[in-house]
Amino acid sequence: MAFKTEADSVVVDRDEWSYAPAVGVGPLRFGMTVDEVVEAAQLLGQTKVSDCAPDHAIFSPTWKIEIGRGVSPSPPAVTAYVSQAAGLFCIAADAVHGPQVRHDGISLVGRDPSELESDTIAHAEAADGYFRYTPEGFAVPDDFGVVMRGQLVGQVLRSRPLFMVTRDGANTEWDSMPFEEYLHGQSTT
């Protein structure tokens, strides 16, 4: 499947990944150890593991695993966060290079926020279901395992979903979000 952003006219072949709330995304399962994430990611491409800065005293040590596509150096397509106590708790799909992940038929990765909002509202109305807005104003399906973030692609904002479970010592996914994910908006080409 080819995906072309209006922002940078880059065509990226995207893998299709499934999302199961509280279970995982694609080959990644919540609760996996660092070694298990690296092993599962070997099918996708190269990985880079690094320590995360301690952002809250209540959280156990956390690692960031950047997963690129293919064998040559490439920007991360997926970033996984693993805590010592909870295991894999957050999976972020890059707006440009990440796999396409759908929730109830709605594509969540690399979308224009207003189009994603329209699709989310239409889906909720058709299914007699619900949607919610994140604290940053993104409309998402009413599933507390999806936290939508924005990522600048050139001059255009695109969707960067985080698929999460609550990590050790936190009350919600927003409380669990890795500090590195608050640093959104960096330009990607």
Q: What single letter denotes the amino acid at residue 181?
A: E
| pTM > 0.95: yes or no | no
Give the CB-side neighbour count of residue 161, counting CA atoms within 13 A. 27
**C-beta neighbour count of 22 within 10 angstroms:** 13
Q: What is the pLDDT of residue 188?
A: 47
**C-beta neighbour count of 93 within 10 angstroms:** 27
132 within 8 A of 47, measured Cβ to Cβ? no
The DSSP code for 87 is E
Q: What is the mean pLDDT of residues 116-143?
A: 84
Which band of pLDDT confidence, cut at 50, 70 and 90, is reported for residue 66? Answer: very high
Nearest to 151 by CA among 119, 120, 122, 108: 108
